[in-house]
């Protein structure tokens, strides 16, 4: 059965393949033995191979060893974890009253914990979840699990058209309502209308859960994320940030009012039953947070802003479609799986690593190249990519005709 299903994926051009790197995460990397220029990583600030973070990780291992040994509630909660959580809470303290943070090994676990745990604040059948249609898979799975475990009602909404969300909430009499959205949508690069969503949440007494995986470290003057950028403050916000993207290392966190976090510690099954992340990683993340809100972080965010401006001003396609994203995520929509795979293969031959993104990651008919910028890309790097893309577009159009 598995063999036939895999063959079906091949027929639909949907089979994914692992590519092996044998160098550090950087804009120049060796993939399957070939050096390529990568425009596909989520390492937006270029911290993943930063000497300061390498040193901090080594220092953390010498201080606290290689592993944590148990879950947080058994014996795995180290002073490094505690210090990291306090610093993460401080990042959001201007936006969430009495903020407290909880550290996780992955964003997937953080989202599962937040959604399933918050739904358990009500009795079975008492919760309604309103989820943006283009949310990340981890949010989708959290919503589905919450529905299966606690009979939560699920309603999807278009984050660009909020009238239907408001209309659905007006008819909702359930005592617990949660609006769930990405902060930056990972495949389109656009930013959710968080101020408008917060107003709706306040109007209908709902919680607002924001997964800022692609905004933390990038958005806001100090890199604190979408809440800082939008200057929001509310006790009904549940904020989730990722530490393996712009922060350059690994992990994620939930930040919310203290009593929400305490509830998740008591009732969040993925948190309770997972071995704690090695404290060395938490120690290194403290250095990353220092860099994010310091001068180096500001300089690197300014470099990203320059790259985004160059892209919008100079990348003019004849037929291919780009978006109006103001983030380091800049997709090029090609439509069919075949078109996306062909363009990706031409880029590979030209020395670039930009994979084709296909369903179910994106809707059918919207396969794309997901181009991402790092602060370690130079303006010349980007302009060379632009020249290459223009040539490849013409080659693809000629091949199609």
Active-site pick, 136, 214, 287, 377? 214
Residue 329 confidence (pLDDT): 98
Within a 13 Å sphere around the CA of 40, how many CA atoms are in the beta-carbon half? Answer: 20
The reply to whether 86 belongs to the active site is no
Angle between the 379-400 and 295-314 helix axes, to the nearest 10 degrees? 30
Residue 401 confidence (pLDDT): 56
Cis peptide before 360 (omega within 30 of 0): yes
Active-site pick, 41, 128, 186, 366? 186
Residue 92 confidence (pLDDT): 98
The reply to whether 214 belongs to the active site is yes
Backbone angles phi, psi at 103, to 5 degrees: -95, 140
The reply to whether 186 belongs to the active site is yes
C-alpha distances out from residue 161 to 140, 167, 191, Å:
19, 11, 13
From the centroid of its chain, how far is CA 303? 20
Residue 400 confidence (pLDDT): 64
Residue 398 confidence (pLDDT): 77
Tokens coding 319: 């037929």
C-alpha distances out from residue 118 to 162, 206, 272, 361, Å:
23, 12, 15, 26
Tokens coding 145: 């699990």
Active-site pick, 50, 159, 245, 287? 245
C-alpha distances out from residue 135 to 12, 132, 218, 399, Å:
24, 5, 19, 35
* Segments in the chain below pLDDT 50: none
From the centroid of its chain, how far is CA 307? 20
Strands (E), 88-167: 99-104, 127-132, 153-157
Count how many residues are written for the chain: 401
Backbone angles phi, psi at 330, to 5 degrees: -130, 90
- Tell me how far apart the alpha carbons of residues 294 and 172 are, in angstroms, rounded to a whole number: 45
Residue 49 confidence (pLDDT): 97
Are β-strands 34-38 and 352-353 bridged in parallel, bridged antiparallel, or unpaired? parallel
Are β-strands 176-182 and 207-211 bridged in parallel, bridged antiparallel, or unpaired? parallel
For 72, which DSSP code? I
Residue 240 confidence (pLDDT): 98
């Amino acid at each position: 059965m598995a063999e036939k299903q895999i063959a079906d994926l091949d027929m639909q051009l949907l089979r994914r393949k692992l590519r092996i790197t044998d160098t550090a995460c950087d804009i120049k990397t060796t993939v399957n033995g070939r050096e390529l220029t990568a425009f596909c990583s989520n390492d937006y600030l270029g911290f993943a191979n930063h000497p300061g973070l390498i040193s901090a990780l080594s220092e953390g291992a010498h201080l606290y060893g290689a592993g944590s040994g148990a879950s947080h509630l058994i014996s795995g909660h180290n002073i490094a974890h505690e210090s990291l959580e306090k610093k993460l809470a401080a990042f959001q303290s201007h936006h969430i009253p009495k903020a407290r943070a909880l550290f996780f090994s992955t964003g997937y676990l953080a989202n599962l914990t937040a959604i399933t745990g918050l739904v358990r604040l009500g009795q079975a059948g008492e919760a309604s979840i309103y989820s943006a249609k283009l949310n990340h898979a981890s949010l989708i799975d959290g919503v589905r699990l919450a529905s299966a475990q606690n009979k939560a009602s699920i309603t999807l909404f278009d984050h660009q058209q909020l009238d239907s969300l408001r209309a659905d909430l007006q008819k909702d009499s359930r005592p617990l309502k949660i609006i769930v959205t990405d902060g930056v949508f990972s495949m389109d690069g656009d930013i959710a209308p968080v101020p408008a969503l917060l107003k709706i949440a306040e109007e209908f007494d709902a919680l607002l859960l924001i997964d800022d995986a692609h905004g933390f470290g990038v958005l806001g003057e100090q890199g604190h994320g979408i809440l800082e950028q939008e200057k929001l403050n509310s006790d009904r916000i549940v904020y989730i940030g990722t530490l393996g993207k712009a922060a350059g290392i690994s992990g994620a966190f939930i930040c919310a009012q203290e009593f929400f976090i305490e509830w998740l510690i008591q009732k969040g099954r993925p948190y309770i039953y997972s071995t704690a992340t090695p404290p060395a990683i938490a120690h290194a993340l403290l250095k990353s947070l220092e860099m994010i809100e310091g001068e180096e972080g500001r300089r690197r965010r300014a470099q990203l802003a320059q790259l985004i401006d160059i892209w919008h001003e100079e990348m003019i396609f004849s037929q291919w479609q780009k978006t109006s994203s103001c983030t380091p995520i800049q997709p090029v929509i090609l439509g069919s799986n075949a078109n996306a795979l062909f363009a990706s293969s031409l880029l590979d031959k030209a020395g670039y690593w930009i994979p084709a993104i296909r369903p179910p990651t994106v809707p059918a008919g919207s396969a794309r190249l997901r181009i991402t910028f790092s602060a370690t890309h130079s303006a010349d790097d980007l302009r060379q990519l632009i020249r290459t893309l223009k040539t490849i577009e013409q080659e693809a159009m000629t091949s199609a005709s």
